[in-house]
Every structure is written in structure tokens, then in C-alpha cells.
Amino acid sequence: MIPATKSLQGEGAPSHFRLRTALSYCAPLFVNGIALPFFPVWLAGLNFGDREIGLILAVPMVVRVLVVPIVGMLADRVEERANVLFWSGALSLLTAIALYWTSDFWPVLLVYGIQGATYAPYVPVVESIAISGVRRWGFDYGSMRVWGSIAFIFSTLVGGQMIQKWGGSMVLPTMVGGFFLTTMMAFFCPRIGPTRRRNQPTNLQAPTGSSLRSPQLLITMIGVSVQQSSHAVMYTFASIYWRTLGFSGTQIAVLWSIGVAAEVMVFFLSKVLSRRFSAWTLIFFGSSMCILRWILFPINFGFAGYFVLQCFHSCTYACVHTGIQRRIVASVQETQEASAQGSYFFYNGMFLGLMTLASGYLYAWLGVSSYYVMAGVAAFGLATVMLARNLQPRSSGFGETARKAS
């Protein structure tokens, strides 16, 4: 655990902070565990084509990147960031209910786009609360974030059983239940007051930039976001493709779950990894594995082969995510934490949304070979991060320790 400095007024952390923050991650990722693998199956059940599915999934990503930075700045200024979670969860619940009355392309596109905007701030705000706990009281980020991934695994496995039994009709009621949980969890999320300018853990490097205008941080966020956007084809069409290969709903759920389980292992080991490797090393390694993952993905090795490839998610997402969070902590003050998370979410959502939109056309044109294009996208993201790394003074080299949080 990262040792924390004494708080400004000597107060301790809210009771059960780690547990309550972990549960705050669980609620939204429970929803994601259903929506990410199986919402495309529900859309396919409405007889939408690849291009239409790609557009429906892309629009919320593009819309929400306009919302999150604004909400992030507001969250930095309100008395309790956790209050934002209630409105995010409640409005999203209403949109999930509204999907019951939509079946045509344009109504589904509109309602799901609104849901993307209302739900988008939830995870970044929880993320900012967790990072504040790291700064003020030395809590371990990975030990809180990991339980969200476990919730994702649980909901995906249950969803696999349900979709095998009831088909795509199970998606909407399960999403409604998940959004109800997110709304309720907003009442239990820790209340920690407004953001602060001091109280940073002593073994984290003092923020190197006075604002989010730091070129290195901005370019790093963009590079990581481009690399993460290379997951678009898998997120959009993997479940549909695996069904064409004859995989059962349970097998598909296992493939999604094992990727997140591998991600969980990285979060469990985050303290060890942080001591041994710099944030740059984690990002570079994860991005390189991402290129390899998409080169191998079009080759049908059967269920066992895709099982192994899904384990690469521990590198292509978890290592990179851990690295960029450490770079954010090292670069901004706590008063800009939610804004920084919102900015990262903006870039991440923008590039993922654009790539998801493109994936519909790529998949209709190239089929599974579109993953080769994703390998090129990941390579471009890696090159961008390497450019950002070179903007850093030579004294903070590639092999710097995690003690300096870079």
C-alpha cells in the first residue's frame, strides 16, 4: 500500500472506504458485463446489419466524450462528487427502460445515444474518488478497481447462461437491473468532500505540470486512447463472430470472462508491478502485446486458441490502464483529478467511438481480417506514446522506479 501523508485537518478516511469504493466499481461494471458482450447480440436479433450495429454502438461513445469532460469539471467543484453518480445512474435507468419500446434503427440509435451520455460520467467519477483515496490515505488503487472486474466476470458468466437459455431477449431486463444497482450504489459511495491541492502520498512524484495543458500528458493520453481504440472490432463483433463459429453462449461468456480474469490478476499484482516497472514500461509492453494480439486474432485456433488470446487482455488493457493512471497521478494536482479523468475519458471515448463506427464498415468489407487493421492502429498508438515519453527530461528515464510514479 502507498503510505499517505497526514490530512490537512487530521481526519481519517471515511469508514469502510476501500469496501465502498470497490462496490462503487462493481455496480457499473456489472452493467458492462452484460452490455459489452451481449448488447450486439440483441441488436443482431433486431435484424440490423454490421454497419447499423457499428453505428449504434459508436454514437454513444462519440456523444459521451462531449459530456464527460464537462461533468468532470463540475465534479471537481461540487461539495460531493458522489452525488453525480445518482443522477448518472437514475437517468441511465430510464433510458434502459425506454429501449423496451424501441425496435427500429433510428429510435434505438437515439435512445442508446442518450444512454451513452447519461451513463458516461459514472466510472470516471468513481475513478476520481478512488484516486483521491490513494492520494490522501494511501489506499491501493488496484485492490479497489479489481472488484469491478470481478463483477464484470460474474455478470458475463451469468449472462452467458441466460443468453443460451433465452437468447437476446435477456439483455434488456438484465441491463435494467444493473442500472438500478448503480443508482442505489450512489448512496453508499464514500463522501470525501471537495478535492484538495495537497495531501499527496509521499512516495508519489510531485505533479510535474500545473495543469492539463502539459504536452506530455496530453500526447500520452491520446496515444493510449488510440491504442485502446484498436479493441473496437473485438468489442463490437467478437460475440457475433464466435456464434458463427458454433461457440455456445457459455463458451462466449467464458471467453469474455477469462480476459477480465487476466485483467484482475494484473490489478491484484499492481503493487508488485509498480515497484518493479515504470508506468512507461507497462504502457509500452501492453501496447506491443496488443499488436501481437490482433495479428493472431484472425487465425481460428478454436476455443482453446481464443481462450489464450483473451488472456492477452491483461496486457493490452490492464497494464496500459494502470500505466496511464500512474501518469495522471504524477502529472496533475488533486483539484484537477476529475477533470483529468474526464479528459482521458474524452480522448478514449472519442477514438474508440470513431473506431467502432469504422469497424462496422471494416467488418462488412474485410470480415475477421479487419483485425490486421487494428494491429496497425495499436502500432500507431504505441508510436505516439513513445513520442510523448521522449518529451520527458532525460533524468526521468525509461527504467525509473515506481517510487517516482512515472
- What integer pLDDT is reported at residue 334 of this predicted model? 63
Spatial distance between the Cα atoms of 324 and 344, rounded to a whole number of angstroms = 9
Spatial distance between the Cα atoms of 404 and 326, rounded to a whole number of angstroms = 10
Spatial distance between the Cα atoms of 356 and 63, rounded to a whole number of angstroms = 13
pTM for this entry:
0.75
Spatial distance between the Cα atoms of 391 and 219, rounded to a whole number of angstroms = 10
Spatial distance between the Cα atoms of 12 and 2, rounded to a whole number of angstroms = 15
Distance from the Cα of residue 254 to its chain's centroid? 19
Q: Taking a C-beta distance cutoff of 8 angstroms, is the pair 297, 248 a contact? A: no
Spatial distance between the Cα atoms of 232 and 222, rounded to a whole number of angstroms = 16
Spatial distance between the Cα atoms of 235 and 36, rounded to a whole number of angstroms = 7
- What integer pLDDT is reported at residue 308 of this predicted model? 95
Spatial distance between the Cα atoms of 7 and 334, rounded to a whole number of angstroms = 13
Burial class (CB in 10 A: 0-12, 13-18, 19+), 50: buried
> Per the structure block, which three cell numbers stand in for 367?
470480415
Q: Which residues fall within 8 angstroms of residue 21, CB to CB, at 6 or more apart?
A: 126, 129, 130, 133, 139, 144, 189, 190
Fold of 17-404: Growth Hormone; Chain: A; (1.20.1250)
Each domain of the chain, given as residue ranges in start order, spans 17-404
Spatial distance between the Cα atoms of 177 and 35, rounded to a whole number of angstroms = 12
- What integer pLDDT is reported at residue 328 of this predicted model? 84
CA angle, residues 126, 129, 134, in degrees to nearest 5 = 125
Place of cell 425496435: 103
- What integer pLDDT is reported at residue 370 of this predicted model? 95
- Per-position DSSP letters for 273-341, written without gaps between them: HHHHS-HHHHHHHHHHHHHHHHHHTTS--HHHHHHHHHHTHIIIIIIHHHHHHHHHHHHS-GGGHHHHH
pLDDT by residue for the chain (406 residues), tens only, comes to 333 444 444 467 888 899 999 999 999 999 999 998 899 989 988 989 888 998 998 888 888 777 877 777 777 677 788 888 999 999 999 999 999 999 899 999 999 999 999 998 898 889 888 888 887 888 887 788 888 888 988 999 899 889 888 888 899 999 999 999 999 999 999 988 766 544 444 334 444 444 566 788 899 999 999 999 999 999 999 998 998 899 988 899 999 999 988 988 887 787 788 788 999 999 999 999 999 999 999 999 899 999 999 999 999 999 999 899 888 877 777 667 667 777 787 788 889 989 998 999 999 999 999 999 999 999 999 999 999 988 854 444 333 443 344 5
Phi-psi group of 179: left, alpha or beta (phi > 0 → left; psi -120 to 50 → alpha; rest → beta): alpha
> Per the structure block, which three cell numbers stand in for 69?
469532460
Distance linking the first and last C-alpha atoms of the chain: 17
